Every structure is written in structure tokens, then in C-alpha cells.
């Protein structure tokens, strides 16, 4: 396979790509096939925005490929395509089926892979299936009556189900796991362009169906799902090996292999785990606020007048504040909505969400500031759950601003530390009831200060970003897990047979990395145990 780079002007018809490929390869089209390996946007020159394609060309005859490489004088080279391949080699009989706790991306991919190779897992999810969950979340947004067991954080698909559905990750893909995840998504309903887009996304509307389709296939392969059921305890033997999990209905499920993929918001589970013979570590994360702009403002700032020729523009903001803390944008949602993502009564937190078309009027992202265990200690929290308690303190403060409604404030009013009483040219695009407020009491003063500095710094790069009419919503606290469950090279915890997995365990940071971690844990189990169809 040879990769060619081809550039087209934004707005050129699709047929132009085929012509450009034929011109680049300079070989009889019957002697090769091609596909798009990657597509990105080069907007450095706003008057001449380019779509940059990496085209993978496979030849019917290796001699033709070699001839082209020789003629290129080093500009072309043979590249082997990355493909996922795994064969279970476990030799130990598994007396009970493996248990997967949590049906987010990590748990779902672990369960799907297990079921595909004959391990017939039992999946236990505290929230509801995605259809029932969607109804419950919609009801919460309409009435502000929270179901603490099934919400934006808990239920089939995990927290990512009500998000933009971003599929980019910084994880390297030498094993082909990332491509395998993307191909699995496509197989179950995602558009094929996620296979080559530089910034792939699905959208909450498509992701819901994909999760459901994966679950139905896993069931067809022997898996079983228990929704609206929570694991409340882990039972171990005298050697600290797992022997069973206890459910919220009192039932005990024997198991010696359990994948714990509970997500970053399972605070009651974290409290239970803190009393077990496990090694838990505090972990730094980031907190802040959502910021909303008109999508047109972001498009003009990124692409100029040509923004209409391209998909809705995004951005990535990074800044090192004078304090030394990192300030950055998180989970940017073009054409999206701010959502009430609360999961605990008396506490308010927000997230961002987009549908697949990204057709909303506003763009939003979280502007967050790094916080560390030292910050938790300064607030009076000094145990392994300190980060969780730190999150809870500021979520309670946010709840108090508007009685549980999402508090919203103009950026200029935030700087002036005064309650917003009217909006300018940006109006809220919010899922959930909202009210006007002063958000400063819902954040540490140093976080508020660094958010202002970061937004103003980025405003000097992207016109309109620091406009006083931009809207802030709060608080954003669930950027990643507040702790890590330590695991060894076998991916097991100090409790043997317990495999901490995904974002909640501290080993992932988004849909893709969580899904990949689920596959890694599956591989460890399948490398130890034989498959057992029940």
C-alpha cells in the first residue's frame, strides 16, 4: 500500500477527488484500488482553504507498486495497513461467566468482544437501556426531577451517550484497536466518514442506536444484560480474590473475573471501593464552565467568509495562565447544546451535546482549569476520595445559585462579578431549565481568574471568542475520574479477578480511549481463560 497526499479547494465536487487520485497515481485505474485514509482541513490561508486527503492505494501487482516507489526517488514508500487481530489463547476453565459492571463504551466493548469469542458475559448496568434512559433524561430536562440511578451519567452507553460523540483520541494505534472500534461503530450504524475524518464524531442521536445495536448483537452471541441494577458490594475470599458481586436487590452473582467499568461519576461505588483491600490513588483533573458563542462567530473566526463551504467549525484552546495552571477547552460541541448533566440531588453540573448534524445555533465547550490533590487538601479534603468531595462542593454551590436550574451568565458579567439580568446577541441553547446568576461563587477564585485569563488570551487568536455577550454555564466538574484504581500488568487490581477499566477507573478520557481499554481488558481475560458458551 502507498499513501498519497492530495489537496482540494474547499467546495470542490466529490468527483474532483477521483480525478486527482488518477492524476497522482499515474497508473491504469484497473491496476489498483483506493480509499480515503484521512481527511483534514488546512485553514491557514482563509482565502484558500484546502481539504487535505491521505489516499491509501493498494495495487493488484506488487511489481507495479515497486516500480512507482523506485521512480519516486524516495517520496513514496510501501506502508502496511494497520489491522486488528487477536486470537484467545486462554487455557484455564472459567467456572462462571465473566461479569461486566457498566455499559458505557469501556464495558460495552469489553462485553461485545467477550460475547464474540464465546465468553457469554453478564452485563450489570445501574441505569436503564438507552430507549428508557432517553425518556428519563428528557423528563429531567423538562421537569428538573432527577433520577439518581438513570440520567446523563448513568445508563446504557455511559456519559458519552449524551455528548457530541467525539471519536478522536491521542492514543497511538499500533495494534489496530482504534480502527477496530471505528469499524465496529460503522458496522452498527455510524457513517463511514468516521473512518477517515481527522476529527470524527457521531452525535448523540446516532450513538444511541449504535449502543443498542451492539447490545442486541452481544445478546445474540450469548451475553445477558441486567439494567436498572447496581453492584453494591464485592465479595472476596481469604486471599483477596474475587468470588462474587452483590447487587442492589440482594442477589449475589458468583464470579472470578469482573470488569469494573463504572464511569467517572459512580461516587457511591467509589465509596464502597474505598473500604476494600484495593489501592486507590487521588488524581488531578480540571473544572470550569461551559462557554457558548454563535456558531457563525466560530466559523468566521476559523475559516473566514468561506466557513459555509465546510462543516461547522470547532476549536481547541490551550493556555498556561500566569498562575502556572493549564487552561483549556474540553469537549467542544459545534452546533450543540449545553446540558444539565447532574446525577446527584442537590448538586448541579453541566456538559455539552451535539446531534450528528451539528445544526444548532450555538457552539459550546468547557473552559476548564487544572486542579490537583493539593487543591483538594486546601479545601479540607484529605483522603483518597478528596477529588470527589471537591467536585461535590462546587456542584452544591452551583445548585444553590438557581435552585437546581442551570445557572447562566454573560462573560462580561462574570468578569464584573455581577448577576446577569439580560442577554445580548447569544441566547442559551440549553437542555434543561436554566436561570440567570453570578457564577463566581460556584468556583474557587483561582479557577474563575484563570478562566477569564484563558478566554481573553484565546480571544486574541479567534475573533469574538472573548466577547462580553458569550454565555457561561456551570459548573463543569466531570472532565475525568477523580481517582485511579491501581492495576498491574495483567490489568487486575489488588483484588485478584477484578479488572478496573475505562474512564471511571482512571485509564481513559473519552469514548475512544474507554472503548480501547475495554478491548485491552477483554484480551487479558481471553488470554487467561477459555471461552465458555452458556
pLDDT one-digit tens code per residue, 434-468: 999 999 999 999 999 999 999 999 999 999 999 99
Q: Are residues 215 and 103 in contact, defined by beta-carbon separation less than 8 angstroms?
A: yes
CATH 3.50.50.60 domain position(s) in the chain? 99-281+483-526
Confidence of residue 533 (pLDDT cuts 50, 70, 90): very low
Give the residue ranges of DSSP H helices in 345-444.
Answer: 373-378, 386-402, 411-416
- Name the grid cell of 182: 471505528
Residue 407's closest CA among 325, 342, 478?
342
Per-residue pLDDT at 532: 62
Q: Does residue 534 surpass a pLDDT of 50?
A: no
- Name the grid cell of 18: 477521483
Q: Are residues 194 and 185 in contact, defined by beta-carbon separation less than 8 angstroms?
A: yes
Give the residue ranges of DSSP H helices in 308-444.
Answer: 373-378, 386-402, 411-416
φ and ψ at residue 364, rounded to 5 degrees = -145, 155
pTM of the model: 0.94
Out of 5-14, 141-150, 269-278, pick the least confident: 5-14
Computed on alpha carbons and rounded to an integer, the radius of gyration of the chain in Å comes to: 24
Cell 464465546, residue?
118
Q: Model confidence over 468-524: pLDDT tens digits?
A: 999 999 999 999 999 999 999 999 999 999 999 999 999 999 999 999 999 999 999
CATH 3.30.70.2700 domain position(s) in the chain? 2-71
What is 99-281+483-526's CATH superfamily?
Answer: FAD/NAD(P)-binding domain (3.50.50.60)
Residue 204's closest CA among 271, 159, 150?
159
Alpha carbon distance, N-terminus to C-terminus of the chain: 42
Q: Which helix (H) or strand (E) holds 454?
A: helix 445-459
CA distance 526 to 86: 10
Is the four-CA dihedral 168, 169, 175, 180 of positive or negative sign?
negative
CA-CA distances (angstroms) from residue 266 to 101, 149, 261, 340, 386? 11, 10, 10, 17, 14
CA distance 450 to 367: 10
Q: Model confidence over 298-322: pLDDT tens digits?
A: 999 999 999 999 999 999 999 999 9
Q: Are residues 373 and 387 in contact, defined by beta-carbon separation less than 8 angstroms?
A: yes
Residue 204's closest CA among 174, 175, 167?
167
Q: Which fold has domain 2-71?
A: Alpha-Beta Plaits (3.30.70)
Amino acid at each position: 500500500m502507498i499513501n498519497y497526499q492530495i489537496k482540494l479547494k474547499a467546495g470542490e465536487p466529490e468527483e474532483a477527488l477521483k480525478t486527482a487520485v488518477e492524476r497522482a497515481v499515474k497508473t491504469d485505474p484497473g491496476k489498483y484500488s483506493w480509499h480515503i485514509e484521512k481527511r483534514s482541513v488546512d485553514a491557514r490561508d482563509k482565502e484558500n482553504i484546502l481539504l487535505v486527503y491521505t489516499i491509501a492505494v493498494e495495487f493488484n501487482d506488487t511489481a507495479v507498486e515497486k516500480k512507482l516507489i523506485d521512480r519516486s526517488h524516495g517520496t513514496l514508500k510501501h506502508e502496511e495497513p494497520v489491522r486488528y487481530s487477536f486470537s484467545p489463547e486462554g487455557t484455564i476453565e472459567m467456572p462462571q461467566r465473566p461479569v461486566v459492571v457498566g455499559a458505557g463504551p469501556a464495558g460495552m466493548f469489553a462485553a461485545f468482544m467477550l460475547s464474540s469469542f464465546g465468553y457469554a458475559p453478564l452485563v450489570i448496568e445501574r441505569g436503564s437501556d438507552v430507549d428508557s434512559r432517553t425518556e428519563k433524561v428528557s423528563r429531567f430536562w423538562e421537569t428538573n426531577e432527577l433520577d439518581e440511578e438513570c440520567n446523563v451519567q448513568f445508563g446504557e452507553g455511559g456519559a458519552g451517550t449524551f455528548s457530541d460523540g467525539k471519536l478522536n483520541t491521542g492514543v497511538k494505534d499500533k495494534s489496530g484497536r482504534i480502527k477496530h472500534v471505528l469499524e465496529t461503530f460503522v458496522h452498527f450504524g455510524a457513517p463511514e466518514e468516521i473512518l477517515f475524518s481527522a476529527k470524527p464524531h457521531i452525535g448523540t442521536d446516532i450513538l444511541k442506536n449504535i449502543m443498542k445495536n451492539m447490545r442486541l448483537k452481544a445478546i445474540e452471541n450469548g451475553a445477558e444484560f441486567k439494567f436498572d441494577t447496581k453492584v453494591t458490594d464485592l465479595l472476596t475470599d481469604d486471599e483477596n480474590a474475587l468470588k462474587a458481586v452483590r447487587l442492589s436487590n440482594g442477589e449475589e452473582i458468583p464470579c472470578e473475573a469482573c470488569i469494573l467499568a463504572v464511569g467517572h461519576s459512580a461516587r457511591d461505588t467509589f465509596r464502597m471501593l474505598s473500604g476494600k483491600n484495593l489501592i486507590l490513588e487521588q488524581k488531578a483533573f480540571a473544572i470550569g464552565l461551559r462557554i457558548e458563542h454563535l456558531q457563525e462567530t466560530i466559523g468566521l473566526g476559523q475559516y473566514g467568509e468561506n466557513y459555509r463551504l465546510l462543516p461547522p467549525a470547532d476549536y481547541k484552546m490551550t493556555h498556561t495562565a500566569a498562575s502556572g495552571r493549564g487552561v483549556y477547552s474540553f469537549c467542544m460541541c459545534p452546533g450543540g447544546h449545553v446540558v444539565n448533566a447532574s446525577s446527584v440531588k442537590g448538586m448541579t453540573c453541566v456538559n455539552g451535546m451535539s446531534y450528528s448534524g451539528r445544526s444548532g445555533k450555538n457552539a459550546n465547550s468547557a473552559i476548564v482549569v487544572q486542579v490537583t490533590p493539593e487543591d483538594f487538601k486546601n479545601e479540607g479534603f484529605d483522603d483518597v476520595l478528596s477529588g470527589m468531595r471537591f467536585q461535590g462542593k462546587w456542584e452544591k454551590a452551583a445548585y444553590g445559585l438557581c435552585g437546581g436550574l442551570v445557572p447562566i451568565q454573560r462573560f462580561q458579567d462574570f468578569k464584573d462579578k455581577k448577576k446577569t439580568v439580560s442577554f445580548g446577541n447569544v441566547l442559551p441553547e440549553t437542555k434543561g431549565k436554566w436561570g440567570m446568576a453570578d457564577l463566581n461563587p460556584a468556583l474557587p477564585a483561582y479557577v474563575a481568574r484563570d478562566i477569564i485569563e484563558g478566554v481573553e488570551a484565546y480571544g486574541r487568536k479567534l475573533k469574538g471568542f472573548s466577547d462580553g455577550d458569550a454565555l457561561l454555564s456551570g459548573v463543569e466538574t466531570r472532565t475525568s475520574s477523580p481517582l485511579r484504581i491501581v492495576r498491574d500488568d495483567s490489568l487486575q487490581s489488588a483484588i485478584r479477578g477484578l479488572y478496573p477499566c475505562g474512564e471511571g477507573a482512571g485509564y481513559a478520557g473519552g469514548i475512544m480511549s474507554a472503548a480501547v481499554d475495554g478491548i485491552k481488558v477483554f484480551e487479558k481475560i481471553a488470554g487467561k481463560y477459555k471461552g465458555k458458551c452458556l
